[in-house]
Amino acid sequence: MEWSFQAAEELVAALRAGAVTSVELTDEAIARIERDDEVINAICVPDFDRARAAARAADQARARGEDRALLGVPVTVKECYNMAGLPTTWGMPPHRDYVPAEDAVQVSRLKAAGAVVLGKTNVPLGLQDIQSFNEIYGTTNNPWDHGRTSGGSSGGSAAALASGFGALSIGSDIAGSLRTPAHFCGVHAHKPTLGLAANRGMVPPGEPALPVDLDLAVVGPMARTARDLTLLLDVMAGPDPLTFGVAHRLALPPARHERLGDFRVLVLDQHPLIATSAAVRAGVNRVAEALNDGGARVERHSPLLPDLTEAAALYLQLLISGSVARFPIESDEQLRIRVAGLSADDRSLDAERLRALMFSHSDWMRANYRREVHRHGWRQLFAEFDAVLCPITPTPAFPHDHTPNPMERLIDIDGVEYPYFDQLVWAGLATMPGLPATAVPAGRSAEGLPVGVQLIGPMFEDRTPLRLAELIEQRIGGFQAPRP
């Protein structure tokens, strides 16, 4: 039997039943990577010797009667996580030789759960792109169409899952970095509530692995099924043992409902600032129809929805000002002149990006206050609804575009071009207020490309969109392996 595309949940059951060993699963995964990854380029740092040793240890542990959540299951890890003995570069050439001395907290949790780490997956330069390519490791291709991107910044992880290179992967998300690659590659991903999963050790190369609370950014699971997302989230979730974990214990509430017919869902397929392609609208509507057919209450409008235009502006302000603080740019006089020359009435996304590059601390505080107002609005909305169904990006996977200055790139939406980074507004809808969001496959476009949607849920009620994702998968199907 071929195991490479089986769900992690199924692999665990087979391992427990003695139908397969971890060594067999690991050898099969490595053979597939060695056969197929030359074209995909998802696994940028293989770790096969240690993986085989971990698989042997997992089989020995099981023979002694041990049983852990992921004991013996082959997985991958996004390159940006520290792993002792392997390079962590974030795709930045000056750091190509940096090798951390200890594992990130999430890598430690994977290993403690018994997972077998096959290696690390490719990322964009500094994790700051919607594609995954860099000078050190090259370009990761979409398994469905090698001329298109697998997404970013967890593009290597999504491509690995779609190609059968391990059953699970861990990634990160600040601008759709979990959800967009899942959407482009036809797999599942979950952006947890901000702060739910400790991020220590998911840090730029050379920086100390401190237990800091990141703004906007989260770490989270990727998988080929919705149930596997929950399996992996249960391993990842919880406070850092060096800080909140000293006094706090995680107790996620159960999903609000178990039956599809009990869910109340608000559906969005249009954004005031950017068009949505016909392919993505069709995916949203396919899921909405499945919800309706399953008896769920489905609405298309609500006065409780926070203002999408202001939400996008706030997201860009917080995202860019935070990014500039960590990765400084040269603030030349020309930039100051451009910002000063903006009309006070110009609230375009380009104008908001420029202003955010020059944000002061007081500017950030004002934006953060408005974020709290939006969070309160979401709390009111989630008293009426259980989830919001909407796009992840406006299009399916687009052709590779390595134009050096990403601000000069454009995204084609059904024949109309928009600034490249405008497509982040849908990802930012959940990121800005820190809400959980689950990426779910929703079929394929007319060109045969995967299309995904996201289910945004109430803060710290991550099990609600995850359960809804399971129910949707049962009705419309989920992951399908790309055609050879």
Does residue 54 sit in helix, strand or coil? helix
Task: Name residues whose C-beta falls within 8 Å of residue 119's C-beta, 6 or more positions apart in sequence.
Answer: 33, 43, 44, 45, 46, 47, 48, 51, 76, 77, 86
- In sequence order, which ranges of 2-115 are alpha helices (DSSP H)? 8-17, 22-40, 48-63, 105-112
Cβ proximity of 75 and 81 under 8 Å:
no
**Exposed, middle or buried by CB within 10 Å (0-12, 13-18, 19+), for 358?**
middle
| Cβ count within 10 A of residue 61 | 16
Per the listing, tokens 């085989």 go with 52
CA distance linking residue 414 with residue 417, whole number of Å: 8
3-state secondary structure of 45: strand
Is 78 labeled as catalytic in the residue annotation? yes
CA distance 150 to 140: 6
Characterise 55 by phi-psi region: left (phi > 0), alpha (psi -120 to 50), beta (else): alpha
Catalytically annotated residue among 153, 169, 321, 445 = 153
Distances (CA, A) of 482 to 92, 170, 395, 458: 31, 21, 19, 33
**Positions marked active-site:** 78, 153, 177
